[in-house]
Structure 1
Amino acid sequence: MTSLKRWHLLPLAAFLFMSIDPTVTEVVNSMSDYCDQFLLEGTQPQVPGILEGGRILNQNRYKPICQTFENERRFVTLYDTKNRIPVFSAYKYRGGVGKRPANDWKIEPQLEDEDDKNMKLGDKNETYDHQAGTIDYRRNRAFDRGHLFPSSHAFNGSDKMATFTLTNVVPQAARFNQGSWNRMETCVKCVMDKYCNGNNGVIEGFVVTGAQPSSNNILRNRINIPTMLWSAFCCYSANMKMWLASAHWADNVPPENKYLQTKTLEELHKELRLDDSEFKVFPGTQCPLHTTVTDLTCTSQKM
């Protein structure tokens, strides 16, 4: 894969989708109850100060979203309504084919107290109280709307369209998004396509991608510009009869290097821990902590 710089993570809350009826709303209290299909073995990440022991520590600020499009859940996001960016998005990779869809940017109605479980097209001229809007990114060449769950990793056309929600993006340095980060996403996709085949032969990998907010770098006085982005994946390879995992992270600036370094999960955990509070992306699973996929061959890009 490619080389990444330092990444820091905000304290997350907990992915608990317990108390809200899933037939009524997809902004929930606990991911584990209603959206655990997007988490490896249904296990939530451990994010210091935000998501600890399966509990969202500040449920008024951090909202777990079962990202729903056309009445079907597509992936899950933990969203920071104060910074108006996601803490992370988690998804199951099943292969991804087809072209990038039109940039029809959506918003999460329930964050604005609207009773609609499906994401919907946002008003291009509206400023939203609890999330970013299209107007926040207008006429800005320095920063892209950087996907955490990239459309290239989505299984079909509807899944790809679902990634175009503003609750799944952060202000990402344009050259970083289109350069080394994009190459990393392509490399990871290639590895998962080739090696992440379960016992039934079906492609299946689990990915969590997040952003570390800055202390005072704000886009249009509303949207936090993260200092870094990070990503990790894990899967079982039936052909190799072993679990595979790797991680990447980098500063949210125009990159100095063409590629990001591939790191171990343990290295990511050390990078994102907060004082004595541990960060763990796939806690309690069989994902290897001390090895990477750098020795595996793939035809898309170098790893």
Structure 2
Amino acid sequence: MRPASLFPLGSLFVFFWLVEGRIIGEDEAGFAECNKFFYEETPPKGLAEPFHVKICQKYNGKERFATLYSTQEKIPVYSAFRYAVSGESREQGWMIEPQIDDPNSNFGEMMNEADAVNSVDNLGSKQALSTDYLDSDYQKGQLYLSSLNSDDFQVATYTLTNAAPMTQSLRERWYMNVNSLMDLALAPYCGNGDDLYVITGAVPSDHRVKDKVSVPDFVWLAACCAAPGGWAMGFIKHMRDGDIIEDVMVKDLEKLLPSGTQLFQNNCGEADQDTEKMKKILEMVNHVQDEERMVQAKSSSSQLSSSQNKRSARSLPDEANESSLLRTIGGIVATPFVKLFQLIYYLMVGILKNVLYCLWYITKQFVGILENGVHRMCSATVSYFMAIGEELVSIPWKVVKVIVKIIRALLRILCCLLKTICRILSIPIRVLVDIVSFPMYTVCAIPAVLKDIAVGLGGTFYLLLDTAFGTIGSLFHVLFSVCKRIGSKVSYDNSGEL
């Protein structure tokens, strides 16, 4: 094979290696390595169906975003991604996922539709193809916009699993809305988008392109800021001309989706959300909506002027039927007046448009001021009445609490009384008899005690007398004995001398 023929094949091989779209198996949790594109790495709940496939979109070996694709409607249910630095959008070739139509395909990554015609079985049976959009009023509209990325990131977004049918005007306005919301309202109030999680989705209608691809009834966007003091917000874009993108709360958006849907785990930290940031975001959203209204007004005015030109062009053949002489004379005479009337007409129209625009602007500002004043007054009134209502409601509750405390105190007293009675009843009868008879025994024992005291005192006195008399008698006896001995000795001495 010649080197010239090897170069395109090598380029195609390198492109397939760079661009990947892995189908997530049923045995894998969530979106596997693409779970990082969801808040707290938890995909939305309540949206998955048996005919949905989960795709982890990759490019250059790195995960770019995650897609839940409906093989029945042939449009994405949603695409989830993280905010990145925006860049200038460049049109790329559209790719398909061969494994959706042919699970046994040897191609594990996304590939160009033209290259898949002869390589993939049942091509287009479960996913949309570029040929489905040919000769129709619809174009391929991305849910995850390529303009939200820069450089090589954009390639991964050009897959038909990330596109839904949109008319040209609605597609342009959807792209304008998403880019403006990201740049003006969402990313600046979430640390420049570093902690911003975004999900864009489509809700199918009964209308189909060539009876194959469902046309969305509306597309939606939900954003969750995971930074401290974060917030969550939703947006809806109906696929009807004249409809402006609407801002809604995420809970209200979930009500428009299948029952039981929860887009963000724990409602994106609902308890810690910053309402002040959300008010500022809504102010920027109003600017985005005004921008869309102005674009819509310009497009309608351009359509009106083109229709007027067509009507004037159709009137030319009628004028050509008049005689050349009358036409020439009438033209010469009428031209200055026509020019004058045209000038007056354009001046009047311009003045009227400016006056109407000024009146519209003044009215809008006045209505805005009045609306803000009424809103604040209503909020203050509601807060005042709510505070009064809370106090009034709390009065019966406080009375009930006091009554309950009184009843509890009475019950405690009764309980103590019953405990005392039980303890009294638990004392043996013999002890009670002894306690009752104690006074009687005490009174009856007093005479005996007094008698014993008297006997004791008498015995003591008698003992003292006996002791005294005994002591005195003993002394006399001793003296008598001494005197007797002395007398006998004196008598003996006297007899010796004789």
Bucket of the pairwise TM-score, normalised by the shorter protein: 0.7 to 0.9
Q: Deviations over 1:160-192 (max 9, x none)?
A: 11111000011123222212x233202321133
Alpha-carbon separation, structure 2, partners of 1:294 and 1:95: 24
Distance in 2, matches of 1:82 and 1:299, equals 34
Cα deviation 1:119-141 (Å, max 9, x = unaligned): 2222189552221111111133x
- Which stretches in structure 2 are left out of the alignment for 5+ residues? 1-19, 118-122, 290-498
Aligned to 2:197: 206
User: Aligned Cα RMSD in Å?
Assistant: 2.8
Q: Distance in 1 between matches of 2:239 and 2:115?
A: 26
- Give the CA deviation at 1:117: 3.4
Matched, 1:302 2:284: no
Aligned counterpart, 1:250: 237
Q: 2:176 aligns with which of 183, 186, 209?
A: 183
Return the structure number with greater strand share. Answer: 1
Partner of residue 118, structure 1: 109
Question: What letter matches 2:245 in structure 1?
Answer: L
2:433 aligned partner: none
- Kept in 1: contact 2:39–2:226 (CA 8 A): no
Aligned residues: 255
* Distance in 2 of aligned mates of 1:219 and 1:299: 32
> Residue 249 of structure 2 corresponds to which residue in structure 1?
264
Other-structure match for 2:263: 281
The one-letter amino acid of 2:43's match is Q
Deviation at 1:148, TM superposition (A): 0.8
Match of 1:158 in 2: 152
**Whose relative contact order is higher, 1 or 2, with alpha carbons under 8 Å and at least 6 apart?**
1
Tell me how far apart the structure 1 counterparts of residues 278 and 93 of structure 2 sit (CA, whole Å). 35
Q: Is the 1:95–1:193 contact (alpha carbons within 8 Å) kept by the matching residues of 2?
A: no
Q: Distance in 2 between matches of 1:299 and 1:270?
A: 21
Matching residue's letter, 1:246: M
Partner of 1:14: none
CA separation of 1:253/1:40 partners in 2, compared to 1, >3 Å: closer, same or farther?
A: same
Q: 1:35 to 1:299 in 2, by over 3 A?
A: closer
Which whole-Å CA distance do the structure 2 matches of 1:130 and 1:228 have between them? Answer: 22
Counterpart Cα distance in 1 of 2:93 and 2:287: 29
Residue aligning to 1:86 = 76
Match for 2:181: what amino acid?
V
Distance 2:115 2:171 in 1: 23
2:161 corresponds to 1:170: no
Larger proportion of helix: 2
Q: Distance in 2 between matches of 1:299 and 1:271?
A: 21
Farther-moved stretch of structure 1 (111-120 vs 259-268): 111-120
- 2: CA distance, partners of 1:139 / 1:194: 41
- Structure 2 vs 1, CA of residues 129 and 266 (structure 1 numbering), >3 Å: closer, same or farther? same
2:39·2:268 contact (CA, 8 Å) conserved in 1?
Answer: no
Q: Give the 5 Å matches for 1:38-187.
A: 38-47=37-46, 50-51=47-48, 57-58=49-50, 61-96=51-86, 98-111=87-100, 112-113=102-103, 114-123=105-114, 126=117, 128-140=124-136, 142-154=137-149, 156-179=150-173, 181-187=174-180
Say if 2:83 and 2:197, in contact at 8 Å, map to a contact too.
Answer: yes
Is contact 1:27–1:65 with CA below 8 Å preserved after alignment?
A: yes
Give, in angstroms, the shift of residue 299 of structure 1.
Answer: 10
Between the aligned partners of 1:185 and 1:131, the Cα distance in structure 2 is 25
User: Compared with structure 1, are the counterparts of its residues 86 and 299 closer, same or farther at alpha carbon in structure 2 (3 Å cutoff)?
Assistant: closer
Largest Rg, 1 or 2: 2
Q: Alignment partner of 1:37: what SS?
A: helix
Is the contact between residue 231 and residue 247 of structure 1 (CA under 8 Å) also seen in structure 2? yes
* Residues 110 and 71 (structure 1), Cα distance of their counterparts in 2 relative to 1, 3 Å cut: farther
Match of 1:12 in 2: none
Q: Is the 8 A contact 1:265 1:288 kept in 2?
A: no
Q: Which range is displaced more, 292-301 or 104-113?
A: 292-301
SS of the counterpart of 1:302? helix
Q: Please give the TM-score of this superposition, normalised by the length of structure 2.
A: 0.47
- The amino acid of 1:195's aligned partner reads Y
- Opposite residue 189 of structure 1, the aligned amino acid is M
SS at structure 1 position matched to 2:211: coil
Give the Cα separation in 1 of the matches to 2:208 and 2:285. Answer: 39
Change (3 A) 1:204 1:218: same
TM-score, normalising length: structure 1: 0.75
Match of 2:472 in 1: none
Counterpart code for 1:271: L
SS of residue matched to 2:288? coil
Aligned to 1:10: none
Q: What does the per-residue CA deviation read over 1:47-75, in whole Å, with 9 as the maximum and x for residues that have no partner?
A: 3xx42xxxxx41xx210000123332211
Code of the aligned partner of 2:288:
K
Counterparts of 2:278 and 2:78 in 1: how far apart (Å)?
A: 23
Amino acid at match of 2:129: G
SS at match of 2:262: coil
Give how far 1:31 is off.
2.9
Letter in 2 for 1:133: L
